[in-house]
Structure 1
């Protein structure tokens, strides 16, 4: 059996950690994504907070560490005036920061320049960003629908019973295609989910259709696994388990993206939601349907994958025959001992009866003694 099939189903619990958004060339940095979420209200709140903090400092600071106007400390209106002209980089020079007040003035200017740049950029690109979002959403809907059609075609070509050599070869090829396609879908969804918010804008009906096809493909692969017996193909079974695993990881990713998008808000809105001072915005019917479907599939597939992996690890099937054969000692039956099947069962984590049946079948097929 090819090595790629023997270990293809081994997917660790932290696979999603590798799918977290990374800084990529020509893609927004984490700081850029943070600024994209900033609304005009966020900018106004940050600007107001900056002016309030700096004004309060200039008003309450000791005379040698704040600011001077005609040789005296500032009143609160004068402190507000200094903060505003400093924030806007005007700096008339009639009020003079001194001591640590100069550091506050520099920070005031830096905040003012940054917020002004962000504001101008958001105003200038607002219409272009809207048009790009429409084009991107249309393209992603097309791609998601194409993925669903490909899944349906592959699922339709799979046979749950490998009764002939031709059927076995077909299932091998189709399961390999399904595994490759599922990985391609995962890569596409991961990239666009983290970098472009694919689950946040208008793709919900297409996503629901994709989830339906993933569910059906998982069920077919699961039945292939559980229908495997001593005459089944070991490669087909291994690839079926691998496909179940990859589909499960994909659905787990989408469930996570839906949960994240459901609490997505403006910068200060997110803070209020995390502090439970504000409820997340209500979802549309299509968005709620896609989110709930992904969560239900995630839960049901976790159970189904556990059963498939348990059958692969401890059931009586062709793949188990290969594992038992690899552990059997060389030489004639007389050198095996009466308890050889128990030793192999303990080593492989299977029952004694399964190990005994595998040994008997291998002898019957002429593959033992080695």
Structure 2
């Protein structure tokens, strides 16, 4: 719009400066063809409909009418844009506040599950752990769907919601600790182990989604240059902090999985028992535990310990 306005003013100035006698502008009955007079007349006519000190004549009247209509249209568009921006800003603030509230509610819900989960783990109550993790998986799926939808359709994370997202990431990291710790409970069965694996996978996916969303966000080129520079710097700081959080989360999960891999849980016993052949142990193929270890992706020593525990529990040998 500004480029068009400058072009119109330039064209009008050139016309009035070079207009033939009787078709330009006059002052006190005398033709005015000076460039400064032409520029002055064009500007005041476009912005304020003129002051009456210069009088267009001939074709100059038609050019002046065009200037007046263009000026009115430009002012109307400018005022409309200001009103639209103000309304949009109000709606954006309301929407940002709603998203912030929802994200805070998600974080509070996950914190509640985490506290209950820690109590159940301390009491070694596998049934409660399994139930809580199943409930948690539903909440994580809801959060993931909400974040994914608003990341693509309402610019979640571009403005205003970064603190709420950061708090949610911190809560997700705290939540991963009891979940990974529950994998080491000896009484964890196959179904509970599956639910724990699903929960860990969803936590990691959600953390990566939020960080990737904020790292790739596009800045809205409105506002002042200083605002844009300050916002870009804040984006970098948040992104770096969240990258560290992501790396710490992945490291903790990997460490917890390694620790859990050294514990013979009920889920492990069920897997080893399913892979064991039927009949007395002395009739098994030689070094058959190595086959089981390869099949289950476990170490030979770990499988040997699991087989021995199954034998002590009376679950081996299996009947033919």
TM-score category of the 2 structures, normalised to the smaller one = 0.5 to 0.7
Question: Do the aligned partners of residues 286 and 205 (structure 1) sit closer, same or farther apart at CA in structure 2, a change above 3 Å counting?
Answer: farther
Please, which runs of 5 or more residues in structure 2 have no aligned partner?
8-76, 223-227
Check if 1:334 corresponds to 2:282: yes
TM-score by length of 2: 0.65
Check if 1:243 corresponds to 2:199: yes
- Give the number of equivalent residue pairs: 243
Residues 172 and 239, structure 1, Cα contact 8 Å, conserved in 2? yes
Find 1:319's aligned residue among 246, 261, 267.
267
Q: Secondary structure at the match of 1:138?
A: helix
Find 1:141's aligned residue among 89, 96, 100.
100
Structure 1 residue 311 displacement after superposition: 5.5
Structure 1 residue 362 displacement after superposition: 1.3
| Deviations 1:228-276, CA, capped at 9 Å, x for gaps | 33x4444333322321221111010111011112x53549xxxxxxxxx
Structure 1 residue 332 displacement after superposition: 2.7
Aligned equivalents of 1:121, 1:356: Cα separation in 2:
78
Check if 1:264 corresponds to 2:264: no
Structure 1 residue 286 displacement after superposition: 6.7
Q: Secondary structure at the match of 2:314?
A: coil
Name the residue aligned to 2:168: 210
Please, which runs of 5 or more residues in structure 1 have no aligned partner?
1-42, 52-117, 268-279
Name the residue aligned to 2:142: 184
Name the residue aligned to 2:244: 296
Find 1:228's aligned residue among 185, 189, 210.
185
Check if 1:195 corresponds to 2:153: yes
Residues 103 and 168, structure 2, Cα contact 8 Å, conserved in 1? yes
Name the residue aligned to 2:309: 361
Check if 1:346 corresponds to 2:294: yes
Aligned equivalents of 2:78, 2:271: Cα separation in 1:
65
TM-score by length of 1: 0.57
Q: Which has the higher contact order (CA 8 A, sep 6+)?
A: 1
Aligned equivalents of 2:170, 2:248: Cα separation in 1:
13
| Deviations 1:183-213, CA, capped at 9 Å, x for gaps | 1111111111111111012112222221221
| Deviations 1:271-291, CA, capped at 9 Å, x for gaps | xxxxxxxxx833378755643
